[in-house]
């Protein structure tokens, strides 16, 4: 089967990464007020306003207006005082590097191509990275997902497939647009 050669700019245009960056850049200037482990050692960062949970069982607890989850993909925290990685099995106890993210403001956000790695740079010189590897590409799950205010949901997964949809609408009922990629299959929706 013949292969087609395309330039890097053609690749970016084809994958519509130009639409992805403005969504990610809207995270700039938001303060991370909570960093926590969720199930399976996944890292979850809460940004922006504190929003009370709607579920009565969660009364008195808050979540971020913006929530970033790692979806089982390796993550790393790099600080001036050291680093921490999910690959070292460090999800058992809170570390100073995790607490270093809390209270810091997002200075920049970037996604590398073609691997889909996410980098968040904070004003206190800390960095949070999500680094997908070959093992992560075997599954049709997102590498990371970002819940935005007003029920926005952004996810990036294998083969640089990304989707932007609503988190409060079941996947089969998502409005389809000719410019929008179909949502990732098997993506776990958390609100």
Assess if residue 191 is contained within a domain: no
**How would residue 126 be classed by pLDDT, with cut points 50, 70 and 90?**
very high
Count of other CB atoms within 10 angstroms of residue 159: 10
**How would residue 103 be classed by pLDDT, with cut points 50, 70 and 90?**
very high
Assess if residue 153 is contained within a domain: yes
8 A C-beta contact, residue 63 and residue 106: no
Q: Which two tokens stand for residue 80?
A: 């001036």
Alpha carbons 157 and 71: distance in angstroms, whole number: 10
Assess if residue 136 is contained within a domain: yes
Of 153, 152, 149, nearest in space to 184 by CA = 153
Look up the domain containing 160 and give its range.
14-173
Assess if residue 92 is contained within a domain: yes
191 vs 53 pLDDT, higher one: 53
Tell me the pLDDT tens digit for each residue of 163-174.
777 776 665 555
**How would residue 184 be classed by pLDDT, with cut points 50, 70 and 90?**
very low
pTM, to two decimals: 0.76
Assess if residue 9 is contained within a domain: no
Assess if residue 25 is contained within a domain: yes
Alpha carbons 32 and 45: distance in angstroms, whole number: 7
* pLDDT of 89 strictly over 80: no
Q: How many domains does the chain have?
A: 1
Length of the chain: 191
Residues ≥6 apart with Cβ < 8 Å to 9: none
Alpha carbons 168 and 58: distance in angstroms, whole number: 18
Alpha carbons 118 and 27: distance in angstroms, whole number: 13
E strands, 59-173, in order: 62-69, 75-79, 82-85, 104-111, 118-122, 127-130, 142-148, 152-157, 161-166
Q: Which two tokens stand for residue 11?
A: 């690749």
Assess if residue 4 is contained within a domain: no
Assess if residue 102 is contained within a domain: yes
């Amino acid at each position: 089967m013949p292969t087609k050669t395309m330039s890097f700019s053609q690749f970016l245009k084809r994958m519509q990464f130009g639409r992805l960056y403005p969504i990610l850049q809207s995270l700039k200037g938001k303060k991370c007020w909570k960093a926590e482990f969720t199930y399976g050692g996944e890292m979850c960062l809460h940004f922006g306003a504190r929003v009370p949970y709607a579920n009565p069982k969660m009364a008195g607890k808050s979540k971020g207006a913006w929530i970033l989850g790692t979806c089982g993909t390796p993550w790393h925290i790099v600080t001036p005082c050291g680093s921490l990685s999910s690959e070292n099995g460090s999800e058992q106890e809170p570390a100073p590097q995790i607490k270093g993210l809390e209270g810091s403001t997002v200075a920049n956000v970037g996604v590398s191509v073609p691997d889909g790695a996410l980098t968040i740079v904070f004003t206190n010189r800390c960095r949070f990275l999500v680094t997908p590897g070959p093992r992560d590409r075997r599954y049709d799950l997102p590498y990371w997902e970002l819940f935005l205010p007003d029920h926005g949901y952004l996810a990036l997964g294998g083969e640089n497939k990304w989707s932007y949809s609503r988190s409060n609408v079941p996947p089969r009922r998502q409005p389809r647009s000719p410019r929008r990629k179909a949502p990732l299959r098997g993506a776990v929706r958390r609100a």
